[in-house]
Structure 1
């Protein structure tokens, strides 16, 4: 309580005492207190007094007025605003600040103060590509590396300025001298373009790649390509060289052995390679010699040892054998090979007995020992054949059966079904676990891993799997009882894309606007849409697989592509105006001519590597504005043309707007 208030109370007390003494009677002080005052006892029981309540000032009896605490400078602390109320007050923080008690208002008697708000905690405060910097009571934005300021300067405040950050775009990279572009990962900051030397040139120095910089420009390509040239070709002994004297890449030299010499090499030519060197030729011209002759079973060789062309050798059967048939003389030929000999020497009992699935491990004129070949085992019977006194073999009774794997002849049918043979000796039920894992070259994040279980007594099984299209699969089948696993790989093909969902319309304007609704199950990463314009003149024929013309500026009645859209850049719905004079996907959307009629076709294309599938649908008919073409007034030639058009696409006469062409 300040001195002024104290003085007023003292005066009030003196007046009250004097009044009581003057009247000579007791005064009820509490009854005279103001509405905004309280009655309090005086010390030592000397009486009562009226005091204004907290937040009010006055004499306590005749007046108590509100005290404006906000007149006290700095009562709420820094970065705040004071708000006076009847008998009290409250504080709020300025914009960019918040109370430390996390409430909307406060009175600083509990230690609450205004603290800075970190606006940068809000995700996306500065928009895409922006980075936020907190300031005392505010914030500012600047662009990250790879982004540049748009419609303003840095730093900026998105709540106050129109500025924003946009992705740096270097555009398509340009090839350097004698170079070609191999691949490019994009046109934004950090994208990499890879180059190679043009055909007939070889890389000598410099970097083969260029990177999109933060300044929106591709780094200057430093690679140096030199034209490929080889020196004179290598001379080969005893060979003639056929060469036209050129030594650029792809030039060919032919070699031919001289008379009396021959070569066993399959390749007699050398090519100037990309390395600037002639490809090595494994050519050796050797003097013709037939070399040592073949040794035939059960024969002796009569030969003078000469391997020159014309030399002769004879074969005779050894003791215990006789020549049953065939030729027993061979001559050295000019090709350097001995002539064919077909002599057959037969033992007294004839050839060794043949047992199925077996081989001979020992054989003389009278005894043959057999054993089962690899992959088979003996089932029962003896393994010795003996030549009897009658000149006939007493054949062994050995029986060999195949050692068969539990799963064999595994194959894939129609890209989705597995077929295998279950090899069992008894009719037992076998449990199989089928596991298949799929991946895609064009979608590295894709991963399809599933498994199925099958129980069967059958000797041959077939199981169809729900394999996804354009996917490489590794499939394994495990026979659980034997723990035997067989594996196979397969790749599913590219399917025909679903027909585009369009709303067919007829127009009488040269700039019609069409609407497309994209199918949700389209293979977006490898698909696109193409818009065809077909001038209606005479018989109209359209092949969905036709490449068409990409240059509408050449006046022709043939169809042409007027726009192309990557499916990944098309939303759920899209409006497209035919003939607006703009470029779409590298194709010029040429204006339609007045007075001509057109069919507008839409083709959906799915393509991966060399595979391409497409489907087409009639989107609209545009009639010339100088005259109106009605179905009821079509000429005979126009009717024939319309029928030919629908027959090419597979339309029926009553549902020609609902059918589609596929390729």
Structure 2
């Protein structure tokens, strides 16, 4: 019999909670390991989560901090698990297509070179970690590619070396087995009457597929080199000789080589002819050019050589132009020296070598203006000389840039701008003042000009100033009528209310030559 109230107490006992009934389908219900008793839900291997509400797939290939499958492998994730495979060129140690690393399986290199003929005929295999490559054996060359090559990836292959037809040399025969492979040899023998003056007589087929060219030079046996009168031999061997005419002689056109022909005879066309020297009837034209009558050595080819030296004050200029000159040619030397009496420090000295086959040679020189030149022409072989002189003229002097300046002054002012040149020591400016009354005629080139020294006798045109160019810089201002003396001329004052023509003339004087150029402007003067 139960005690009073026992039925009610049984009704109040708590209901026991079943943890295992709440576990996720991908979880297991395990007894707790902490000694507290009871059970807990844990996700199965290959899943992660709280064991009750979710257990998701674990990607072992991504979550691991290292390559879970090991070296030379590829990891493949599956639902709740994973598996491993070896990379191309490697094989698993368990000889299975797939494996799990915890069974001790690893991937080792495949030695493809164990496969017979994997690189093809003439190929040599070299194993590498995870792959292999091919190269050609000695006696073979790669085709359609370069070495190293891969027969499965590239179109390249090895082909036996073939040097083709061996070279042919004049006046020789070949002794050959018709073999064109690497290492094959061809022997050369000179024809009857010839001998090899080269250093080799064997041609070899090399690894690059080409015949090594020997130095085979079959020359006829011609004996001693023939003598050419009035010449000397400067070089020779068994098949060729070079001749040179002696001093006082020249080669009028024959070949200066003697060649041993295939018939065993020397071929010689050179002969030496005595030189006929002379420089006659020298003539100067165009101020800078010379013409004369040469000797009778016609038909002779000529080259050129020019050496130039110039001295102008402290400035030194050196220019040199050279060309190859045949030592057998007839050569002339020209020395010309130029001086200026108005410029004592000036000196133009040059030397020129040249040749000519013309009966009347001509040469033009780059001479400077307003200079006296002495020209000496010498035949280099005979050392005979002829001297002549050339006097170059003065070119028309440059006109300066002239501008009228309106300044705060009752007198007109001219502004002159010019460029200096080497003729300045013999040139000057002349300023003419001419009242405009009726028709004015003024010959700028006339050397006769009126003089005026006294203001009280100012009638008609007059020279107001004469200024040496050597005393003028690049520019200057000149005021008409400033009552100053310029040279020996008086710059007289202008009369009020008159029109004037102002002429600026540049004059250069050297000997009897006096070229002039002028600049004219009109000016009306009012007080």
User: What TM-score, normalized by structure 1, do the two folds share?
Assistant: 0.32
Q: Which structure has the bigger radius of gyration?
A: 2
